[in-house]
Structure 1
Amino acid sequence: MTDRSHGISPDRLADDALRRELAHLHETRHDTVLGGSESALRAHTERMLALEQEFLHRFPEAGAPDPMRTRAGSRESAGQPVRGRDRG
């Protein structure tokens, strides 16, 4: 018998269902952290990480950092030289 206590396996969800479940978990995260039991928080975290991992696997471009949120991009925008270790 399959354990479905944490929902359908992320790799079996359609794209729209994956996005919907991930959004819902992000919406409920704060309440789970503040008011959930230790086991509820653990289950929430495991499910959230599994959904996020599957999302980034399917949509890697969605997880790429905005260049302005990296050190190199910020320095480049400010006209400062970009150091070697900050690239990428």
Structure 2
Amino acid sequence: MEPTGVPARELSDEELERQGTHAHATRNWVFLHGTAEQFAHHTERMLELEKEYLRRHPKRTWQGSAEAGGEVDEATRLRTALRGLVTQIESVLAEADPLPDKGSAAGGGGATGARGSSAGVAALLREVADAPGGRLHRLELHQAARRAGLPRADVAQLYRSDPPLLAADGADRVLTDAGKEWLAHRS
């Protein structure tokens, strides 16, 4: 099969992300309704885009989050994927929980959530503070939150607390002045 389109290595970061997002959005349709040739081409292109994205941004995906920075074995990949699914399911269940509020990651007196911890919040905020320019790409922040053991719902609270501890600046996430102050009181 002859590849078509601009090689992934030649795409800008924005175009690589756009094409990767589009490939994932159209995957189900191609799987269910496309021809065998369309499916094969789609698979090849999607893998090419993913491989290039991982090469450029290894810390933004679970595949590139190995502590040693190298390749991870299949069992580690599966274990990490399963942990990610469990975290996502727990977040969905927590959002649908009809029980009274059990606290939030950033609000109240302790900055601990139903599953999160003050230590986890501190580890995440410290990682943002220690990043180059005090900023992390949003996907790198999600990886840092996973390492810190913070569910997505608790991370979301860091943006919604009064005052917020984290803020979005385009695709980057930055520590607010309140976040710096919160972190300074726990160091």
State the TM-score, normalizing by the size of structure 2: 0.33
- How many residues align structurally? 68
Larger-Rg structure: 2
The 5-angstrom pairing of residues 1-88 of structure 1 reads: 6-64=4-62, 69=83
Q: Which amino acid counterpart does residue 16 of structure 2 have in structure 1?
A: L
The answer to which structure has the higher strand fraction is 2
Percent identical residues: 35
Pairwise CA RMSD: 2.5
Q: Which amino acid counterpart does residue 83 of structure 2 have in structure 1?
A: R
Gap runs ≥5 in structure 2 = 66-79, 85-114, 116-187
Poorly superposed stretches of 4+, deviation over 2 Å:
64-68
State the TM-score, normalizing by the size of structure 1: 0.68
Partner SS, residue 5 of structure 2: coil
TM-superposed CA distance for 1:6, in Å, is: 2.3
TM-superposed CA distance for 1:53, in Å, is: 0.2
Q: Which amino acid counterpart does residue 69 of structure 1 have in structure 2?
A: R
Gap runs ≥5 in structure 1 = 71-76, 78-88
Give me the whole-angstrom Cα distance separating, in 2, the residues matched to 1:51 and 1:13: 9
The answer to which structure has the higher helix fraction is 1
Q: Deviations over 1:40-64 (max 9, x none)?
A: 0000000000000000000001113
Asked which structure has the greater RCO (Cα within 8 Å, sep 6+), the reply is: 1
